[in-house]
């Protein structure tokens, strides 16, 4: 997955494109899943809250001065 595609998906999702939002949730699902463990156990509520937070972040995120999404996220 390249930065150009991610930026295009973000821009489309910000404009209300549900398919673009769904694709971003799929792309970032491994990170969300990994961070949904509390004390070594998967926490479904945490998982859902992180997905909601990601959606909120997508709606408010700006690409000002960011050259690489992956470098920015450190993944």
What integer pLDDT is reported at residue 32 of this predicted model? 96
Look up the pTM and report it.
0.78
pLDDT at site 61 = 78
CA atoms of 56 and 74, how far apart (whole Å): 20
Domain boundaries, the chain: 3-73
Tens digit of pLDDT for each residue in 24-68? 999 999 999 999 999 999 999 999 999 999 999 888 877 676 666
Which residues pair with residue 37 across a beta bridge?
42
Q: Does 69 have pLDDT greater than 90?
A: no
Residues ≥6 apart with Cβ < 8 Å to 68 = 3
* Strand-strand pairing, 37-38 and 41-42: antiparallel
């Amino acid at each position: 997955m390249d930065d150009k595609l991610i930026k295009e998906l973000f821009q489309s999702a910000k404009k209300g494109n549900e398919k673009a939002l769904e694709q971003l949730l799929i792309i970032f699902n491994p990170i969300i899943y990994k961070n949904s463990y509390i004390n070594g156990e998967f926490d479904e509520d945490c998982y859902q809250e992180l997905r909601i937070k990601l959606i909120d972040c997508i709606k408010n995120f700006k690409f000002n001065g960011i050259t690489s999404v992956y470098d920015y996220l450190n993944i």
